[in-house]
């Protein structure tokens, strides 16, 4: 009898098929009409975003994607495929590793079909989002379950819902930062995470534990899936690895979509925080993006270029982005270890 194999599904957010406006429009339409990303009634969400927001935003976003694109295409895609290949090599013949995107291609459906065709015994799903959020990890989990519900045979499926404090994840981030610190002295470190609306945190807080304050200073049974608490936990652990005191780093949040006055997102906002730093004597900043495991628009362009320009315009000296984990050997080992343990 042939030895049974374990299926592995690695999932990242998604990317347009090309940096051209029609492909960017298709990507944004799928992304921004996800009810877990924009949690408003579908009767409002679809006409608002498909009819107004996306048509206005797509040409602007396409210009930014053209800056990001390389000879290999979208970094989020090729880093994901590189990770898939290396994790497959690390795990060996007892596993079948597939890679999919929540939005656009390769799709989660195509990746699951690959595992189904391989007749795997069970499936381990790893959304590549370190800190759990309904708009990212939760959306992937919902999509996977929506697809497999139509299978005649549904194998055992387990989800790795977060790895914000995974030792190998923390160690790999710290190693990347340490390499930058050897090149130059930095006055301060910034940990910039993708923002989400505060209401998303409250919707996932049935015990009313959240106060958007010191409640996030430790991870407990009550806040173990709080995105904000997990971001602070990741930052504390990386800071400890780097020997940083609390005064030497700032945790902040980027990429908010709507006006903070009408719809507050997690704070402090990265752009606001960095503009205040030069007046405090902070001239050289090392920036991490620990919500992302692969370089993408939000890291390379937003943190690496736009925030750098803003920091320098307000009197800063040097702003340096730490590269994401991508398919670094230490990160590949960590991913393989998490899968084996599941």
Task: Kindly report, residue by residue over 178-225, the tens digit of the pLDDT.
Answer: 999 999 999 999 999 999 999 999 999 988 899 899 999 999 999 999
Question: What token pair was written down for 255?
Answer: 């990429």
Strands (E), 66-138: 95-104, 122-127
Question: In this predicted structure, what is the pLDDT of residue 155?
Answer: 96
Q: Residues, the chain, total?
A: 342
Identify whether the C-beta of residue 190 lies closer than 8 Å to the C-beta of residue 285. yes
Ranges of residues in the chain with a pLDDT under 70 are 1-3, 258-261
Question: In this predicted structure, what is the pLDDT of residue 260?
Answer: 40
- Write the pLDDT tens digit of every residue in 120-161: 999 999 999 999 999 999 999 999 999 999 999 999 999 999
Q: For residue 3, what is the DSSP state?
A: P
Consult the annotation and say whether 194 binds a ligand.
yes
Measure Cα distances from 69 to 179, 295, 297 in Å: 26, 11, 9
- Burial pattern 218-227, b for ≥16 Cβ within 10 A else e, equals ebeeebebbb
Question: In this predicted structure, what is the pLDDT of residue 36?
Answer: 96
Question: In this predicted structure, what is the pLDDT of residue 259?
Answer: 46
All domains of the chain, ordered by start, with CATH?
6-162+329-341 (3.40.50.1400), 167-321 (3.40.50.1400)
Q: For residue 197, what is the DSSP state?
A: B
Q: Which helix (H) or strand (E) holds 11?
A: strand 6-15
Question: In this predicted structure, what is the pLDDT of residue 263?
Answer: 80
Measure Cα distances from 262 to 107, 199, 265 in Å: 34, 12, 10
Question: In this predicted structure, what is the pLDDT of residue 206?
Answer: 87
Residues 82, 150: Cα–Cα separation, whole Å: 30
Question: In this predicted structure, what is the pLDDT of residue 3?
Answer: 66
């Amino acid at each position: 009898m042939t030895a049974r194999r374990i299926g592995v599904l690695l999932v990242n957010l998604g990317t347009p098929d090309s940096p051209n406006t029609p492909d960017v429009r298709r990507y944004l339409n799928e992304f921004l009409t996800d009810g877990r990303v924009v949690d408003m009634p579908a009767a409002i969400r679809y006409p608002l975003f498909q009819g107004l927001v996306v048509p206005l935003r797509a040409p602007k976003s396409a210009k930014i994607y053209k800056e990001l694109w390389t000879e290999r295409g979208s970094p989020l895609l090729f880093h994901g495929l590189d990770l898939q290949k290396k994790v497959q090599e690390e795990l060996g013949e007892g596993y079948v590793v597939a890679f999919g995107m929540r939005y656009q291609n390769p799709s989660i459906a195509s990746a699951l079909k690959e595992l189904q065709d391989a007749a795997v015994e069970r499936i381990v799903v790893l959304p590549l989002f370190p800190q759990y959020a309904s708009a990212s990890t939760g959306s992937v989990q919902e999509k996977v379950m929506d697809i497999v519900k139509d299978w005649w045979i549904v194998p055992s499926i387990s989800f790795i819902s977060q790895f914000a404090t995974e030792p190998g994840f923390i160690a790999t981030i710290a190693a990347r930062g340490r390499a930058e610190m050897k090149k130059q002295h930095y006055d301060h470190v910034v940990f910039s995470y993708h923002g989400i609306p505060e209401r998303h945190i409250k919707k996932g807080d049935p015990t009313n534990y959240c106060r958007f304050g010191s409640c996030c200073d430790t991870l407990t049974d009550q806040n173990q899936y709080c995105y904000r608490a997990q971001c602070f936990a990741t930052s504390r652990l990386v800071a400890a690895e780097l020997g940083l005191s609390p005064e030497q780093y700032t945790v902040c949040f980027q990429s908010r979509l709507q006006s903070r006055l009408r719809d507050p997102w997690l704070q402090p906002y990265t752009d606001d925080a960095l503009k205040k730093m030069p007046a405090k004597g902070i001239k050289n900043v090392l920036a991490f993006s620990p919500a992302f495991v692969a370089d993408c628009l939000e890291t390379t362009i937003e943190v690496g270029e736009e925030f750098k320009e803003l920091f320098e315009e307000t009197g800063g000296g040097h702003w340096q982005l730490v590269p994401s984990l991508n398919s670094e050997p230490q990160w590949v080992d960590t991913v393989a270890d998490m899968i084996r343990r599941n």
